[in-house]
Structure 1
Amino acid sequence: MNLRVPYFDLTAQTRTIRPELDVAIGRNLDRGSFCLGPDVVDFEQSFARYCDSAHAVGFNSGTSALHIALLLLNVGPGDEVITTPMSFVATCWAITYAGAKPVFVDVDDATCNLDPARIEAAITPRTKAVMPVHLYGQPFDLGAISEICARRNLALVEDAAQAHGATYAGRKVGSFGAVAGFSFYPGKNLGACGEAGALVTRDPALAARARALREHGSTVRYYHDEIGFNYRMEGIQGAVLGVKLKHLDAWTARRREIAARYTQLLTGTPLKLPRVVPRGEGVFHLYVVRHPRRDELKKFMEANGVGTALHYPLPIHLQKCYASLGYQAGDFPLAEAIGRDCLSLPIYPEMTDEQVDIAAGVISRFFQ
């Protein structure tokens, strides 16, 4: 489909930095350091500083980073981890891979993030950790959730897969919990040329163990102290991410400009527009609006040359893969309503103001 406003355009970003990428990838090819290596180390150090943290450990995906994050905290069989039903399913994969049970709590209707007021009712003697998601790039209520975790002696794991550079109370997300996981899937605000992820922590012992676990449980080659995984970041991805990280703040500023423009143009329409938690500053990985006629609006926009997407139409508790947990439709009505009504509008740094105006104009025509 030839769209005037595509939902997303990765090639536009690549074109703006292609010479830098060519140099970085060429250097990696010349080095021949394709699994971990100096490009990954350089990126890890830069990303740790960017996140206001002490250590970053590169992985082959954000899912792997979250899995290892839970293992570092000794989450395992018999344990429960409280999380949100409104996220990409990989949040729960990490809990399941660790052998623990996901326990869902409904979300806040305004921000779509895990509702702190509902957490304590879900805590049992088996609860080991709370793993909320900075959904759509908007910080969850770190003040309230951190306080609950500290008071109830629970580990806080931040799923920051969508929130590179977001802040809460002036501090970068990923630096609040015991461990945080980030994704560098190509469509993320900071995206690799393939799959990649990172784990961030202030604890040097956790970082050291994470490095061993991602490399077959080994600190000395061919000697394995515990069961490990092949979760290494590729050297080329480290090189790419090192280039892109230098541009991330400028890209984030542009995302915020686009989001502000959407909000200005769409205020007064029947759409429910994004809201950010107090004291938080989001990075607008997604700009998600809501309306009961979502499906009609989506078809109308695409028929008029504007791409859209759905994040996420079926909450995790209703996915067939988690039927064994016993949840039913109606258990988390706010998450379910968001799934029915949500629509992601185009947002990426290379969008022009004209394209934003076109998308907003199509929406206005739909409601007229």
Structure 2
Amino acid sequence: MKTVWEYSPETEAARILHAARQTAVGFYKTKGFAILPYGSALHGKNLVFLPGLPYLSIPRFWEKAARINVDSLPLKIPPRLLKAVISLLPSQSPHLPDKSLVQLWDRYQNQIIDQIYCLIPGRKDWIKQIIIQPTNYGTGASFNLLTKAPGTARIWLRSDQGISAIVESLLTILTRYEVLNHLSGLWSESEIIVDWLLAYSPLSEILEKIDPGYGMSLTIRSTRIKQIASLTTESEKFLSEIGAPVIKLNTMKNLPDHTWPARQRQLFRLLADRSPDLVTFDEIHGRLFAGHPDSFSLYAISKTVQRLRDLLEKNGVSGSFIQTRRREGYLLYS
């Protein structure tokens, strides 16, 4: 299998816009990530790095970033916006991938891919090519999801990450779509599956040899570590300096929900009024299906929730603000 390592001002600008989008809609906030300026002495899977650029010099930058669709890679970015971000990048030599990392991956790639296919035989030969774009920014890694074979696995790999981040990305590329769409799973549940494979499957024997200490940076463990007050303060200060929007409950309550379909509007107002408390399935049914006591259906409720999440996304707010509690109900994160 061929792995291509590619870097250009265009790929780095696209990465910044990807991270800006996830910042603007509040995705990172709901998943436990802290956003810090690039160059911070801190490192970890729970950190997102952005350069301290004059983003507000680009008219309506954060609004434009929030509208970027990040469901697939490569991103479809308006050329003028991409060019504007490139113009803000500091003049420096292209960030080439670490040669030792490239050599290490070349050495162990086939062994790792074969082991992944042994663990997930239903995905054998799904990956025809891997494209890795090294970057200084964003989360430790971001990637596309494969829904059919064969396909290209595309990975943004942050410069402080190693082989384990590539392996984690490939496992997620092959499994997350089914977890979310066929099993009605959550982002965190998808991450737990991959973390388990990294920690306890035969892959761990390979990683322990070539990427020592990888187990301390498993995604869910990292994002569930309680952030110290100073880290939260530093992140909020940086976001304020770069003019990033901060989504709070009042922000969401000011959304134009009067234009939404009645059922989604009723659900949104119920969740907003009760935030951050849980709203049970029975309470949702009582509000949305009043007068139809025999129409109770968890499927109908989940479809309404998904439509509401889609409406939030269209209005520049991450759908992940609506969080699921298994066998209990939903809540609006605030």
Provide TM-score, normalisation by structure 2: 0.29
Greater helix fraction, Structure 1 or Structure 2: 2
Provide TM-score, normalisation by structure 1: 0.27
